């Protein structure tokens, strides 16, 4: 259709194609504009990612605590599969009259393991990046030991911007191995290039099948074991169970097969776990000692930054977690983070940590120290480190 040009002169019917048209940018200019927009998007992404890392690593004036991340966890992570960890066999030992009491105690402990304490909810920035990257099988695993300080270590490590870890214990290599590696990988958080994927399940250390299974996944997996005075660890283990089942037998009665003869009942898991040397033998058949780091649970309390320095070096990470990240909580009796991952308020490990131990007969404690002494000395030789428990 033509168009009418109005003015002082009569209206003329002029074809539309003869009217002036806005200039069309040449193809080269359009390509440059598209490239500039893409570069702007990449720059914005990198700025936000750097902010996420620095915000995670920077300490504030804030405690490590129970938190509420469990409410955000997927069902597969929030509830561990049913099952019982494999036990280390000790030939020649017979069941005692307290077998039922021991099973009751271990059942209560297993129930608590299936509802592990989860860390706090991630920050909005962390949530934004949770959809980025890819899910990888873990390159490092905290394999033990129960009541040694594994939860504290994992929460301390999560402050590092290059560490991504599952909050709940997957229990893949001891309870859910039949579900396959694809299922296991799907439990892991997404990571970007340069980040390490980790998990922690303390019962792996005492599971006979776990070393071969982890080696089959990757022979390069780095393994971390948090160990603690086995006598104190056994009492802490019992205290945890007692909090769930107040009707279980006394610690003293569970410790002995025959108290008058002073014969220790090594079939009780609280005692069995602390025979570290026997468990370590199975791991050294599948992994060289250089791929295992043994963290002192006692030093983790006295000097968390020093012990975290060793862990960061072992994992090949820059030493970002230092003294400035910690303060000592006198009520709990152990260190807390000034600023935990994704947290903006005071935060310590929750009420299930730092329970008051019951009074134990000093003679029983002394007998246990005598029982563990040769195993401890062998463990010192195997690891090349004297933990000072004797």
**Residues 254-278: tens digit of each pLDDT:** 999 998 888 999 999 999 999 999 9
Q: Please say if 278 is a catalytic residue.
A: no
Q: Is residue 71 part of a domain?
A: no
Q: Is residue 383 part of a domain?
A: no
Q: Partners of 5 in the beta sheet?
A: 12
Contact 122, 73 (CB under 8 A): no
228 in a known ligand binding site: yes
> Which pLDDT belongs to residue 304?
96
Express each pLDDT in 145-158 by its tens digit. Answer: 999 999 999 999 99
Beta-carbon contacts of residue 269 (< 8 Å; ≥ 6 apart): 87, 102, 106, 109, 206, 237
Q: Is residue 212 part of a domain?
A: yes
Structure tokens at 350: 């929750």
Beta-carbon contacts of residue 43 (< 8 Å; ≥ 6 apart): none
309 in a known ligand binding site: no
132, 105, 270, 103: which is closest to 191 by C-alpha?
A: 132
Provide the residue range defining the domain that includes 173. Answer: 134-229+274-356
Whether residue 318 is predicted with pLDDT greater than 90 in this model: the reply is: yes
Tell me if the bond preceding 114 is cis, omega within 30° of 0: no
Q: Is residue 84 part of a domain?
A: no
DSSP state of 178: G
147 in a known ligand binding site: yes
298-316 average pLDDT score: 97
**Band of residue 232 on the pLDDT scale cut at 50, 70, 90:** very high
Whether residue 75 is predicted with pLDDT greater than 80 in this model: the reply is: no
Q: Is residue 98 part of a domain?
A: no
Q: What percent of the chain has pLDDT over 90?
A: 57
pTM: 0.70
Q: Which is the catalytic residue, given 147, 200, 222, 339?
A: 147
- Number of domains the chain is built from: 1
Q: Is residue 189 part of a domain?
A: yes
Q: Is residue 165 part of a domain?
A: yes
Whether residue 110 is predicted with pLDDT greater than 90 in this model: the reply is: no
pLDDT greater at residue 85 or residue 270: 270
- The CATH number given to whatever domain includes residue 286 is 3.40.50.300
3-state secondary structure 66-113: CCCHHHCCCHHHHCCCCCCCCCCCCCCCCCCCCHHHHHHHHHHHHHHH
316 in a known ligand binding site: no
Contact 123, 60 (CB under 8 A): no
Q: Is residue 347 part of a domain?
A: yes
Contact 255, 361 (CB under 8 A): no
């Amino acid at each position: 259709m033509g168009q009418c040009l109005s003015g002082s002169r009569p209206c003329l019917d002029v074809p539309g194609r003869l009217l002036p048209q806005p200039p069309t940018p040449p193809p080269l200019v359009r390509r440059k504009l598209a490239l500039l927009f893409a570069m702007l998007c990449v720059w914005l992404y990198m700025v936000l990612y750097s902010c996420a890392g620095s915000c995670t690593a920077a300490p504030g004036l804030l405690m490590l605590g129970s938190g509420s991340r469990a409410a955000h966890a997927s069902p597969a992570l929030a509830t561990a599969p049913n099952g019982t960890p494999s036990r280390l066999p000790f030939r020649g030992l017979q069941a005692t009259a307290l077998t039922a009491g021991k099973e009751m105690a271990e059942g209560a402990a297993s129930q608590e393991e299936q509802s592990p304490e989860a860390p706090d909810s991630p920050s909005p920035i962390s949530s934004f990046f949770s959809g980025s990257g890819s899910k990888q099988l873990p390159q490092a695993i905290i394999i033990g030991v129960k009541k040694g300080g594994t939860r504290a270590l994992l929460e301390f490590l999560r402050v590092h911007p290059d560490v991504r870890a599952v909050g709940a214990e997957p229990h893949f290599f001891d309870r859910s191995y039949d579900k396959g590696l694809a299922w296991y990988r799907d439990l892991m958080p997404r990571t970007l290039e340069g980040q390490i994927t980790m998990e922690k399940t303390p019962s792996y250390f005492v599971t006979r099948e776990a070393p071969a299974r982890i080696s089959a996944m990757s022979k390069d997996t780095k393994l971390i074991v948090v160990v603690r005075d086995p006598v104190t660890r056994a009492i802490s283990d019992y205290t945890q169970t007692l909090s769930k089942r107040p009707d279980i037998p006394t610690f003293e009665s569970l410790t002995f097969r025959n108290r008058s003869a002073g014969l220790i009942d090594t079939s009780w898991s609280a005692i069995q776990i602390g025979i570290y040397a026997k468990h370590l033998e199975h791991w050294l058949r599948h992994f060289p000692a250089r791929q295992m780091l043994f963290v002192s649970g006692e030093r983790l309390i006295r000097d968390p930054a020093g012990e975290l320095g060793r862990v960061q070096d072992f994992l090949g990470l820059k030493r970002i977690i230092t003294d400035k990240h910690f303060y000592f909580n006198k009520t709990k009796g152990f260190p807390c983070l000034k600023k935990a991952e994704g947290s903006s308020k005071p935060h310590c490990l929750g009420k299930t940590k730092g329970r008051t131990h019951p009074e134990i007969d000093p003679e029983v404690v002394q007998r246990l120290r005598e029982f563990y002494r040769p195993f401890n000395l062998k463990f010192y030789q195997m690891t090349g480190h004297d933990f000072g428990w004797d």
